[in-house]
Amino acid sequence: MPPIENDKIRSKIKDLIDSNAVLVFSKSYCPFCVKVKDLFKELNVKCNAIELDLIEDGSNYQDLLHEMTGQKTVPNVFINKKHIGGCDNTMKAHKDGILQKLLREGSEVYDYDLIVIGGGSGGLACSKEAAALGKKVMVLDYVVPTPKGTTWGLGGTCVNVGCIPKKLMHQTALLGTAMEDARKFGWEFGEQVTHNWETMKTAVNNYIGSLNWGYRVSLRDKNVNYVNSYAEFATNKRGKETFYTAAKFVLATGERPRYLGIPGDKEYCITSDDLFSLPYCPGKTLVVGASYVALECGGFLASLGLDVTIMVRSILLRGFDQDMANRAGDYMETHGVKFLRKFVPTKIEQIEAGTPGRIKVTAKSTEGDEIVEDEYNTVLIAVGRDACTGTIGLDKAGVKVNEKSGKIPVNDEEQTNVPHIYAIGDILQGKWELTPVAIQAGKLLARRLYNGATLKCDYVNVPTTVFTPLEYGSCGHPEEKAIEIYGQENLEIYHSLFWPLEFTVPGRDNNRCYAKVICNKLDNERVIGFHYLGPNAGEVTQGFGAAMKCGITKDQLDNTIGIHPTCAEIFTTMESPVLLPFLFMLLKPCARLRELAEPVEQYCHRIYFGGGALLPRR
Ligand code: FAD
Ligand code: NA7
């Protein structure tokens, strides 16, 4: 084992010894280990056992323990950082009463082994895992009400004001489109179909309520102490505050929507934190911002039949593949969303209070002096989110924060510059702001801290989906980034428009869905960027994300047999360019087929009917 790896394991062992009152390096099949673990069970003492036969590098742990303690065999027992020895020594210490004395000594040092600040995706995952590993854990979660007074229950952003209500409202919108399609498939129902905002809002919020309750129950079941209070690091106790101590802390405070800082924004506008529980239909809506929260919310509101304008300062979906972003935007534009490009709001005024009321918005061009004014019922601000790190006393704890972004830099083990303070989720600098990422980071952190695990959260090739009306799934690099890193000449980019079978009968949205894979020619055409614009993008992208984790190449994509008829099979049916004229000839004779084949004439490299051809773009 290289010295650097040994150093890592040595420090891991030290960490485990420091952070566990009772620690037993054990082997799952060893009868002496079982005897020692049973003794602690009888004494009703939590014992953390690291099973060296079950963990990665277990034999290296054993060698290093030998070097550190002079003992090669298991069990190897530590109590409150003191080396006790093997089974015989532990039994003798128990008989002599030394064990009980040692156990009492360390127990009063901290209130908790771990305090987690923030009960969202990351915080809950981390606290539950740490408690399952026998730690005494507290999680503090408190929601500061929005300027409009909106607040919510346990679970953080995703459950209450993020992924969950967003996806359910997106689903509401998709059902509207499905109803239009349904007539073409023979379903007959009245001409007038209307949508009731309040019914949707109530149903969505009832479901969220059940999730809030589920989280509370699961914390209780796992013996995590949940406290509904705002947490802050402090050097001494003030007023009515309660002071808790812990051996380790995890920061998981997430982000909250940013405001514009212009007259009237906090008084008259809402953010995504208010939208999902808005008690009335928002009516004519202006969405300010052009990233995914803005496009997703604007998208479903428009699909519910509302008059929606999105005010874009510069580009759509900054950081995403711009070719895909613009296609997602174009689809929205052809489906009723208005875009006011290169404008920023400068003033918000209330014309009339109400539910909804009437609001006047003044905006200025980013390219000249042009000023526009318009009236809306609701203004939804979605111009980014700020990390909740400014008011939790991090200066007192000595934790470094990026002054500009408010984000927290951590090493690859989510450790801040203060060794006993860790951070996970949206507040991390330069990491993905996604629920599964926060959960994975939290869970793995607890396992590393309390179970001798070494696996770190892998932030590379994280699949994600933007739930715009036409969904956009991606994994790996956007085209722009791939060019920047590898150079255009070293990339092969395969792409194709496609027409989902389910769109054909209703005769809608031809030439809209799009697939693109970016391959690195220097590395056996390994897929380094996957992009999909079409129905069920999340479901499609998830599997290809797994394939990219395994390092899939273009050749392996070619050798994968597709599932027919699906949209995802477009990525597996990579035909040779020479076949195209032949396929085109096949399509020509029939008028209907010719209509379907029209895009083939236009683009010459795009084929339809569920399958498709992904060809190099040169
Ligand atoms: P959070 O879930 O935000 O939890 C932090 C918690 O800490 C909150 O409850 C907060 O109130 C609490 N808190 C803050 N400060 C304190 C304090 N001092 N004391 C006590 N408690 C405190 N991600 C996806 O993967 N898929 C999606 O489709 C998706 N859609 C989204 C849609 C929207 C509209 C938004 C806003 C986000 C979306 N996200 C999505 C992102 C996802 O919600 C976040 O990445 C995720 O919630 C981050 O988890 P976290 O644990 O870092 O923080
Ligand atoms: P993002 O991804 O931070 O994007 C912010 C968007 O708002 C972006 O389009 C910005 O335009 C725009 N913006 C920022 N400031 C302004 C002002 N002052 N005026 C007009 N437009 C502005 O934010 P999201 O809310 O979509 O998502 C944040 C995270 O939340 C996301 O990662 C998810 O995990 C959940 P720009 O491109 O800078 O010109």
* pLDDT, tens digit, 9 for 90 and up, residues 101-130: 888 776 557 999 999 999 999 999 999 999
Nearest one of 484, 516, 531, 519 to 606, comparing CA atoms: 516
Helix (H, G, I), strand (E, B) or coil at 448: helix
Q: 331 pLDDT band (50/70/90 cuts)? A: very high
Residue 85 and residue 131 share a domain = no
Average pLDDT, the chain: 91
Domain boundary among 363, 383, 403: 383
Q: Which atom of ligand 1 is nearest to the CA of 427?
A: 52
d(CA 147, CA 274) in angstroms, rounded, equals: 9
Residue 285 and residue 371 share a domain = yes
Domain boundary among 54, 89, 106: 106
The token pair that represents 6 in the structure block: 């040994």
pLDDT at 585: 43
Find the domain containing 540 and state its range. Answer: 470-572
Nearest CA to ligand 1 atom 8: 156
Cα 143 to ligand 1 centroid, rounded to whole Å:
11
In a domain, residue 441? The reply is yes
Residue 235 and residue 309 share a domain = no
Residue 149 and residue 236 share a domain = yes
**Could you tell me the CATH number of the domain that includes residue 482?**
3.30.390.30
Residue 518 and residue 436 share a domain = no
Nearest one of 576, 597, 575 to 586, comparing CA atoms: 597
In a domain, residue 98? The reply is yes
In a domain, residue 463? The reply is no
Residue 421 and residue 324 share a domain = no
One of 66, 83, 477, 564 is an active-site residue; which one? 564
In a domain, residue 487? The reply is yes
pLDDT at 573: 83
Cα–Cα separations (whole angstroms), residue 563 to 464, 486, 571, 576: 22, 32, 10, 19
- Per DSSP bridges, beta strands 526-533 and 358-365 are unpaired
Show the beta-strand stretches assigned E in 315-397: 337-341, 343-352, 358-365, 371-376, 378-381, 385-387
Nearest CA to ligand 2 atom 14: 383
Residue 131 and residue 239 share a domain = yes
Q: Hey, which of 383, 405, 407, 464 would you mutate to test ligand 2's pocket, going by the most ligand atoms within 8 Å of its Cβ?
A: 383
Contact 236, 184 (CB under 8 A): no
Does residue 195 carry a catalytic annotation?
A: no
Residue 564 and residue 501 share a domain = yes
Percent over 90 (pLDDT), the chain: 82
The token pair that represents 413 in the structure block: 């083990």
pLDDT at 237: 66
Contact 568, 540 (CB under 8 A): yes
In a domain, residue 612? The reply is no
Does ligand 2 lie within 6 Å of residue 315's CB atom?
Answer: yes
Residue 365 and residue 422 share a domain = no
Residue 404 and residue 359 share a domain = no
**Could you tell me the CATH number of the domain that includes residue 282?**
3.50.50.60
Q: Tell the residue number behind the tokens 């056996």, with chain if given.
A: 524
Residue 432 and residue 375 share a domain = no
In a domain, residue 432? The reply is yes
In a domain, residue 79? The reply is yes
In a domain, residue 28? The reply is yes
Residue 391 and residue 284 share a domain = no
The token pair that represents 454 in the structure block: 């070494």
Q: 43 pLDDT band (50/70/90 cuts)? A: confident
Does ligand 2 lie within 6 Å of residue 102's CB atom?
Answer: no
**Could you tell me the CATH number of the domain that includes residue 19?**
3.40.30.10
d(CA 179, CA 170) in angstroms, rounded, equals: 14
d(CA 211, CA 155) in angstroms, rounded, equals: 8
Contact 288, 314 (CB under 8 A): no
Q: Tell the residue number behind the tokens 């149903």, with chain if given.
A: 203
pLDDT at 575: 54
pLDDT at 574: 55
Domain boundary among 77, 106, 135: 106
pLDDT at 616: 56
Cα 142 to ligand 1 centroid, rounded to whole Å:
12
pLDDT at 475: 98
Domain count for the chain:
4
